Amino acid sequence: MKKGSLVCVGTGLQLAGQVTVIGKSYIEGAQQVFSLMPDAYGQRWLESLNPNITDLQQFYAKKGEIKNRRITYEQMTDAIMSSVRAGERVVGVFYGHPGVFACVPHMAISRAKNEGYSASMEPGISAEDCLWADLGIDPGNYGCQSLEASQLMFFEHHLDNSGYVLLWQIALAGEHTLTGFATTQARLKVLVDLLRQWYPDDHQVCLYEATNLPIGNCRAEWIDLKDLPEASLNAITTLVIPPSRALQYNLRVLKQLGLTPKDLG
């Protein structure tokens, strides 16, 4: 292994309260930290742990500038790798979980490993973890599908409406240019029309947003599916779709196992 190294860690959703002990130790012991935090509070907290910080927010498009996010992510990865190649102990710190809807950690780790450097990821508490706790849902009861909203629209997916469905980045549904940060009512109507294959118009869905403050409340707004195009959406909004039909017994498999539905209680 070459001298430089990279570890990508997550801070969770609520700053210092959700970072792991090992994640914090990596931040404190790094020679160079690269951060991608959602606000100044998180950035200042990181600076209290380690002053050698480069804020990756600088690579996003400036006000009035149109910039493809692929370029932004490449620039972020290049900045991280420059310190790794210089032989430093580098830590990338990312909001939430560093491996969930965060391509830069994956890109940087892959590149570092391909170049012969030690590179790894430490998990963080994600928005999905907070969702189960805030809404009181156990995904083990019915099952769950988790999809990015635009991916559902662009590709052939088949939803299981006997379990929960989570659609991430609903505020970007149908946005394909990687230059915009919002969808339109027209695109959301296309999404609703797609979802009608599995759900009625009056099916209750939840607009969920985790809070990033220990004393704050999450957003859990229930609306009819048909009203989604007019709903207020933010970058962190997730659409939670509860089951619309009961679980169906697989009688063929039960027979092979020597069981009947009664045996399952």
Question: Are residues 240 and 195 in contact, defined by beta-carbon separation less than 8 angstroms?
Answer: no
Question: Are residues 33 and 52 in contact, defined by beta-carbon separation less than 8 angstroms?
Answer: yes
Of the candidates 224, 240, 244, 223, the residue with the CA atom closest to the CA atom of residue 160: 244
Partners of residue 119 on adjacent β-strands: 6
Using CA atoms, how far apart are residues 44 and 46, in angstroms rounded to an integer? 5
Q: What strand order describes the sheet that includes 118-122?
A: 53-55, 32-36, 89-94, 5-10, 118-122
Catalytic residue among 73, 164, 199, 208: 73
Determine whether 69 is an active site residue. Answer: yes
CA 176 to chain centroid, in Å, comes to 18
Determine whether 164 is an active site residue. Answer: no
Using CA atoms, how far apart are residues 23 and 11, in angstroms rounded to an integer? 8
Catalytic residue among 26, 89, 95, 199: 95
Instruction: Report the interhelical angle of 40-49 vs 21-29 (nearest 10°).
Output: 70
Catalytic residue among 41, 44, 60, 69: 69
Partners of residue 55 on adjacent β-strands: 35
Could you list the active site residues? 69, 73, 95
